[in-house]
């Protein structure tokens, strides 16, 4: 790999996760993002109460993302070697935490009616 391009990254992700699973994850992320934007426009503000619960759920998302990647790639934590492996796992945990927080906020906002809470 001589240079890092978007198409190279796409090929690597398709190889790691498999074409079907990778594109399913992309579609699910797109749908959740669309719902999040819809909720922000609908409510015209973020509910701090819902946001707090979403933030409290972030560790669950971090652990779930790491476990998911380890299961899909048939790896174990003991297989992690150098610092770059640990940085990649940290990045996966951070993205999983943020994604899960957004998912929790979206689900709360779709289930509960908008209310005036400060």
Dihedral of CA atoms 56, 58, 60, 62 in degrees, nearest 10, equals -160
* 5-40 confidence digits (pLDDT tens): 999 889 888 988 889 999 999 999 999 999 999 999
* 26-83 confidence digits (pLDDT tens): 999 999 999 999 999 998 888 899 999 999 999 999 999 999 999 998 888 888 888 8
pTM of the model: 0.84
Q: What angle do CA 47, 49, 55 make, to 5 degrees?
A: 100
Q: Are 60 and 100 in contact (CB under 8 A)?
A: yes
Q: Indicate whether 113 pLDDT > 90.
A: no
pLDDT of residue 111: 93
User: Positive or negative, the Cα torsion across 59, 62, 66, 72?
Assistant: positive
SS3 64: helix
DSSP assignments along 5-41, one per residue: -HHHHHHHHHHHH-HHHHHHHHHHHHHHHHHHHHHHH
Q: Which residue has the tokens 């560790």?
A: 59
* CA 73 – CA 106 distance, rounded (Å): 29
């Amino acid at each position: 790999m001589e240079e890092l391009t978007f198409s190279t990254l796409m090929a690597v992700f398709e190889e790691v996760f498999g074409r079907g699973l990778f594109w399913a994850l992309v579609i699910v992320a797109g749908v959740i993002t669309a719902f999040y934007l819809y909720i922000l426009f609908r409510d015209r503000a973020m509910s701090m109460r819902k946001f707090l619960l979403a933030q409290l759920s972030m560790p669950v998302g971090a652990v779930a993302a790491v476990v998911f990647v380890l299961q899909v790639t048939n790896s174990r934590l003991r297989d992690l070697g150098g610092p770059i492996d640990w940085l990649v796992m940290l990045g996966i945990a951070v993205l999983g935490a943020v994604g899960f927080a957004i998912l929790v906020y979206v689900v709360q906002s779709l289930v509960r009616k908008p209310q005036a809470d400060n």
